[in-house]
Chains A and B, each alone.
Chain A
Amino acid sequence: MALAKRIIPCLDVDNGRVVKGVQFVEIRDAGDPVENARRYNLEGADELTFLDITASSDDRETMVHVVEAVAREVFIPLTVGGGIREITDIRRMLNAGADKISINTAAVFNPEFVQQASDKFGSQCIVVAIDAKRVSAENEQPRWEIFTHGGRKSTGIDAIEWAQRMDQFGAGEILLTSMDRDGTRIGFDNELTRRVSDSVRVPVIASGGVGNLQHLVDGIVEGRADAVLAASIFHFGEYRIEEAKSYMKKQGIEVRDD
C-alpha cells in the first residue's frame, strides 16, 4: 500500500491574518497567510486547512483574498472552512483557488445543503466537519453526539449515524474533531475516530487534542484515520512537519517524505 497518511496543519485566520501561526525565525511576518503556507509547504505538509474565524460576515471578503494569494504560491490541496452557509460561499472560495470546502454548522441545520453542494461541485471538494462530544457515562457503551457553537450546544444527533449520513449525502471526506480533546494536548479521541472511520466509505481526518508526535501515530494506528490535522504543535515551532513524518515513518506509517 503506497498511499501516504496525510499531515494537515490547520491555520486560524482572523480578518486576513493568521492568528495561530508558525513561529519560524525565517518568517518575517508571522501573521501573513502566504508566508505561513509557503513555509509549511517547504516542510512537506500534505495539505493545508485555513479556518476563517472572522466574527463579522462583512469581513469574509478578506478570506477570499487570502485564498487567492495562497493559491498562487502553494501547489498542494487547500481546504477552506468557517462561515460556509450557501452555495455562493462555496463557489466564491473555489473560484479563489480553494480545492476543498469544509462545511460544519450549515450541515447540521440543513443536511440537504451537503447534498446540493456535492451535486453541484463534486464530492471531491466537500469536506464535512463534525464536532463530536462523548455523552455516555464512564460505565456505559460509548456514545458521541454532534455539538455546535464550539462545543457548547448539543444537537442530540448521534455522531456515528451522522457521519454515515454525511457520507451518503456526498461528503468526500470527514473532518472529525473531538470537542472533549480539543485544546487539551492529551491526544485524539481514538475510539471515536475508529468508530467513525470504520463506519464510512470516505477518508476521515482526525482532529482535536494533539500534544506530541506519538499522538499523530495513535490517531492513525488506533483511530484508523486517513489523515491527521494539528494546529498548536506546529505553530510554535515545537515540531516541524518533517520531524513528524520521520517519527511516523519509524513507527511503520507510510508518509510522503521524498
Chain B
Amino acid sequence: MQTIAVVDYGMGNLRSVVNALERVSEKSHRVLLTSDPAQVMSADRVVFPGQGAAGDCMRAIDEFGLRQAIVEAARNQPFLGICMGMQVLIEHSEENQGTDCLAVIEGQVRYFGDSHKDAGGVKLKVPHMGWNRVRQSRVHPLWNSIDDDSRFYFVHSYYLELESPAVVAGECDYGRLFCCAIARDNLFALQCHPEKSADAGLQLLRNFVNWDGQL
C-alpha cells in the first residue's frame, strides 16, 4: 500500500484535491488527509495544497507544527506543491506587508499590481482567474502525456520570481511571463490547480501518484 499524504493545515478546501487524487489513484494507493507531521514524513508521496493569504498560511503551518515535516518532505519524498503550497516554498512573499516563507526554493513572491496591464496597455484583472496556457520549459515525468501549452485553471494575485532559471518547469503569460511550475529533484510545484483543470490536471496528478521522484 502506497500512501499519498495531503497536508491539511486548515487552509482552504482540500476536498477537491482529495477527490481528484482518488480519481486517478490505483487500488494500491491510499489518499490520506492529515495534519500529523509524522504521517507527512512517513508517507510515500506528499501533496501540499493551500489557499488564502501567505501570512495566514505560514501562521497555520507553525500552529500545526508542520514546518519541519513539510521542509523535509520537500527534500526527500515525491512532493507536489499546489497554488499557495507552491508560493510558501519560496524564501519571501510580498503578501501581508512581507511574509517570510519556508525557503526551500530561492526567490520572491510578488504582487501583479493594482494597475496590471497587458502589452497593449489593456487593463488585466487581478486575481488572474481562469484557464491559461502552460508552456512546459523542460521535459519532466509530471508533464507526461500532457500537450505543451495545455490550459490549466489559475486563481492567484501573486506570482513567483526565481533566483535560478534552473528550477523553472513551466511558464505562463499574464501581462508578463511568469514561472508557474517549478521542479527540482523530487519536488514539483504548480501555481495552477490540477484538481480543477479537467483532463490535463487529472493527467498531471496521475503522473504524480505514479512518480518515483526521479528525473
Binding site for B on A (CB under 8 A): 1-6, 41, 46, 71-72, 75-77, 94-99, 121-125, 172-173, 198, 201-204, 226-227, 256, 258
Contact = CB atoms under 8 A, between A and B. Distances in A.
Name the residue among A98, A172, A256 with the largest chain B CB count within 10 angstroms. Answer: A256
Contacts, number: 107
Contact of B13 (A5, A98, A123, A198): A98
B158 to A, nearest CB: 11
Contacts of A94: 12-13, 15
B111 to A, nearest CB: 11
Majority DSSP secondary structure for residues of B touching A? mixed
Nearest to B129: A203
A98 B13 CA distance: 8
26 contacts: A1-B118, A1-B122, A3-B128, A3-B130, A3-B131, A3-B154, A4-B131, A4-B132, A4-B151, A41-B198, A75-B16, A75-B196, A75-B197, A75-B201, A76-B196, A77-B153, A98-B13, A99-B13, A124-B127, A172-B129, A201-B114, A202-B125, A203-B127, A226-B129, A227-B130, A256-B131
A96 B130 contact: no
Contacts of B195: 75
Contacts of B76: none
Counting chain B residues whose Cβ lies within 8 A of the other chain, the interface size class is 35 or more
A124 B20 contact: no
Contacts of B65: none
Chain A CB within 10 Å — which of B16, B131, B153, B172 has the most? B131
A92 to B, nearest CB: 11
Given A4-B130, A94-B15, A75 B20 contact: yes
B51 A75 contact: no
Nearest to A46: B131
